[in-house]
Structure 1
């Protein structure tokens, strides 16, 4: 799927993001639209679909200009570990990938039907679960939270289906899986759609405390509650504990400094255009956007703007 605007521009930047129905993709598409609508000489063309882990490599190779990123995934790319273990060029490519901004990913919602016997994450033994597309950052994060808080291991204690975001959600809609996981800033489109016809319940672990949990969270993930009362068909009477992390927009390091400065400034100067229609936009914060997270460095153009805005010293 392609988002594009008819504005004629002197420069077109290509942005790739994940499935267009997901909140993070909507945030990125909104960024692109604000910049394109308010900056005369730049157009950002967005394509939705695929894995951010692969998009990051394509940005660094020069085939794209911007993509979604995260502190954890960038650190893995820099070290050539996990999903990059078979990509020998990943550490070198990471040098050509810089940060434009961070924003909250959204709490990971571990979701069951309202009448499910699964009351807490510890009950998913033997269940079928969609954690996210296998090999992606969301899958690894959801798997890690389950293992750290409950001790349950994917492939041994419960089954994780192989599916992309669209088919994973469809499997939950069709009742083919027991648990659906999606990280998003409420209200999330998938849960609005689901509760039009059925009830749901968000579940957390019996306990989110302990050394293993703290170790897994590390510096770049943090505990975050999924609130009650967000959806008409939500049966939770109380908030449940989950986790959140930062994701961001990464940019090719060799994109011109002035261009990156202008697109960063244009976005933040015009953010009020969307906040009334998009509650998630209220979670965007300029200091959070410029914060130091992991090994990833700000692009010089973005850094210049954040210093002018007082977000960093």
Structure 2
């Protein structure tokens, strides 16, 4: 027969067995296609979360098929889902517009921001031999835009905005061949969008003399994109700042994620950012000023961290 003390001990043991071995939290992070800079950023974030939380948060990286698909998956995912996308796409999803027309879902209204990651930054890279110093100089030149990417679509848009429709020869080659084609004189320049410093621009500048074009204030305004400055010295031979445009990219969760997990993810990201910058310079482009580019609401758990850190948020983000 159990005594009261033996009964209490047995109950305590049963309770302990029922508890998980650790307080480990698992999160799925969905970004971009394998082999891209944004996929590599996901690898770094996963490593940073493990290191910064002593293994209490484990991030599993999933290959993404694009920002639109990342948003669409919110409909079927749970509270462990973190994904990256430009804020503009979240707004379109919530409004049921453009590529989300007829595909609206109440789950889109529950999307909440955590922290910014490196922006998609436009680069118009010209060979020094082309003599191009400004967009006006692109007339008669051969430019590689690539196919199907944000950079290709945006680059084509800029050529139209700046009066270059029909005045530039567009190369049919893939963007992966851009650096070799530039070195061989097959093209005069190429357009690419990604984090800065961009790996293909670093490669181009290291192997041949290039000029990355700057946009004027009027041209930036015409694009309706976010102005961004690439500091002098970012690329070989770059003696002055480059004024260009960017599309902010943000890591999101939903209200299904508990506040403590969102808080820890956000806090750890900012605390580990300096270490990530040491291993990949594209994190230099991320600072707290980018929080202002987040359109829409921020997760309550992330808001807690930003308030603790003294970072101002807008009423629309709260």
> How far off is 1:111 after superposition?
0.9
Determine the C-alpha separation between the residues in 1 that align with 2:280 and 2:172: 31
Matches within 5 A, 1:55-204: 55-62=70-77, 65-82=81-98, 84-85=99-100, 87-90=101-104, 92-105=106-119, 107-125=121-139, 129-131=143-145, 134=148, 137-148=150-161, 150-153=162-165, 158=168, 167-175=174-182, 178-204=188-214
> How far off is 1:307 after superposition?
1.8
Determine the C-alpha separation between the residues in 2 that align with 1:161 and 1:99: 38
Matched, 1:34 2:34: no
- Residues 20, 122 of structure 1: CA spacing in aligned structure 2 closer, same or farther, 3 A cutoff? farther
Determine the C-alpha separation between the residues in 2 that align with 1:52 and 1:162: 25
CA contact (8 A) 1:16 1:67 kept: yes
For structure 2, the residue ranges without an aligned partner over 5 or more in a row are 1-21, 314-318
For structure 1, the residue ranges without an aligned partner over 5 or more in a row are 1-7
The count of aligned residue pairs is: 287
Determine the C-alpha separation between the residues in 2 that align with 1:54 and 1:125: 37
Structure 1 counterpart of 2:6 = none
1:55-97 Cα offsets, whole Å, 9 max, x none, are: 2212343188122222222223333333x15x52246442132
1:242-283 Cα offsets, whole Å, 9 max, x none, are: 223421111233122222122112222333333334433343
- Residues 257, 55 of structure 1: CA spacing in aligned structure 2 closer, same or farther, 3 A cutoff? same
TM (norm. structure 1) is 0.74
CA contact (8 A) 1:60 1:252 kept: no
Structure 1 counterpart of 2:5 = none
TM (norm. structure 2) is 0.73
> How far off is 1:12 after superposition?
2.8
Determine the C-alpha separation between the residues in 1 that align with 2:288 and 2:233: 28
Q: CA RMSD in A?
A: 3.4
- Residues 118, 283 of structure 1: CA spacing in aligned structure 2 closer, same or farther, 3 A cutoff? closer
Comparing both structures, which one devotes a greater share of its residues to helix? 2
